[in-house]
Amino acid sequence: MSATLTIRIDDALERELKQYAAATHRPKGDIVREALRRQLALARFRAVREEVMPLAEKNGMLTDEDVFKAIS
């Protein structure tokens, strides 16, 4: 099942989207769906990160590099 979403964008954003779609030979809808997926994934990541930060800090992991070293 799929749904239709109607949004309003300003003229400048419409021009930029149209130019990008033409340059990449992709439909505007595909570009917008991809952007929305990325934004939602980023929001999920930030929520998880916020939740685990206190535990990580408690265990001495203060930076992304600390985490990378621990899992490498």
Provide the pLDDT for residue 60.
Answer: 85
One-letter-per-residue 3-state SS of 27-63: CHHHHHHHHHHHHHHHHHHHHHHHHHHHHHHHCCCCC
How many domains are contained in the chain?
A: 1
Residue 4 lies in a domain: no
- The pLDDT of residue 38 is 98
Question: Does some domain include residue 5?
Answer: no
Residue 28 lies in a domain: yes
pLDDT at 14 over 90: yes
pLDDT confidence of 16, banded at 50, 70, 90?
A: very high
What residues make up the domain containing 61? 11-71
Q: Is residue 35 part of a domain?
A: yes
Chain segment 21-60, per-residue pLDDT in tens: 999 999 999 999 999 999 999 999 999 989 988 888 888 8
Residues 4-22: b if buried by 16+ CB within 10 A, e if exposed: eeeeeeeeeeeeeeeeebe
